[in-house]
Amino acid sequence: MSTVSQRVTPKVIQSLLLKRFALAASTYVLVLALVWVAIFTDYYQAPLRTAVIGSCLVVLCQLLLLGVFLGGFNLRFKDPSLTELQVLLALGWQTYLLANLDSARGTFLVMYVLIMLFGLFHLTPKVFVRCVAFVFLSFSGLSLWEAFQRTLADPGLAALQVFALFIVLLWLCLYARYVQASRQRMRQRRFALQAHQETLRGMMRQLEDLVATDELTGLYNRRHFLRMASRELETMDNSYSHGLALIDLDHFKRINDAHGHAAGDQVLQAFAAVATACLRGGDVLARYGGEEFVLLIPHCTAAHLTGCCERLREAFTHVELVGLEVTELSLSVGMTLLEVGDDLDEALQRADQALYRAKRGGRNCCAAAWENADA
């Protein structure tokens, strides 16, 4: 049975198996048509009643198999296609047909090959050889039985047919082995290709993360933030606004000068951890440059933006750094709102001016651009 992707549902598999069974059943119809042609041309030795009974039994077998497939009982077997069973049934009926033919027996030998081709791509090499042995023993046994009964019309022709069948079956076995080996190699190459594709996808995701994030803090970098903020501006409408804030860590240069750059890096990482804990999942925080960060809060009001920035400011003042005696950590925030039609650069400029007022006003506070507009 051909390999089916694990993502294919059992219903789809059963539909494919039914189509394959329909193909096999149509082959039975064609063979029965040939049998009745042999009957009307006097090449069929058995009585007409035997031919009718045989044809009815063949049809009954196919109807029983159809019921098995329609009822889903075939899915209980290791091979849901029941290929071996169908092949053995066909070989049995073929041998029964040949037993009732005389001079036309050689013409119908080709049906053996047709039946074995049906199982070529679906039977394992071991099962295929077993079916081939059944074919050869059945036909050889039929010829030997007729020779023993002294009813064999032409022993030389019978021997030639047995030998020709042996050669064809041997070729089929070799070809089946080649096909199975080729399919196995193709399957291994496909699995290897899928593994390489998964590796490449993982590498691409890692590369995208490296391009989009700041290595020190793990936050988004400036370029990725600007791209995301521009996309949010393009898709927003008049029913809501976004909150935008620029955040600057107070006296950061003093920390670097007093404790070294490693301590400064630890402060930046501590801020990133605190801010991530304070923000919602949809909020976007990025390192804008140096000790400056930028925050975008979607679907935000002025009150919500102010409350969020104040919580963040308050949380940062309580940060304790391991192994460092850095006191009085604080930050300043400049806030503005993004409306439909806003220019991102202009909005960042408004937030920057608000941040400047917060710094000038003594630091460790939040200033809003709309406060300056109201004034």
Question: Distance between CA 24 and CA 80 in Å, rounded?
Answer: 15
User: Catalytic: which of 84, 215, 234, 291?
Assistant: 291
Q: Is 291 a catalytic residue?
A: yes
Can you name the residues that pair with 213 across neighbouring β-strands?
A: 220
Two tokens, residue 88: 């053995």
How far CA 162 is from CA of 159, 174, 291, 368, 371, in Å, comes to 5, 18, 91, 99, 103
At 339, the amino acid letter reads E
Two tokens, residue 119: 């199982």
Q: Across the beta sheet with 242-249, what order do the strands follow?
A: 284-289, 292-297, 242-249, 331-338, 366-368
User: What DSSP string runs through 6-38?
Assistant: TTS-HHHHHHHHHHHHHHHHHHHHHHHHHHHHH
Question: Distance between CA 23 and CA 209 in Å, rounded?
Answer: 52
CB 330, CB 317: distance < 8 Å: yes
Could you give the residue ranges of the DSSP H alpha helices within 149-260?
Answer: 155-212, 222-235, 252-259
CA angle centred on 74, ends 70 and 75, rounded to 5°: 105
List Cβ neighbours of 80 (8 Å cut-off, separation of 6 or more).
Answer: 1, 13, 14, 17, 74
CB 336, CB 368: distance < 8 Å: yes
CB 292, CB 225: distance < 8 Å: no
- Please name the helix (run of DSSP H) or strand (run of DSSP E) that holds residue 295, with its range, or none: strand 292-297
The residues assigned a catalytic role are: 291
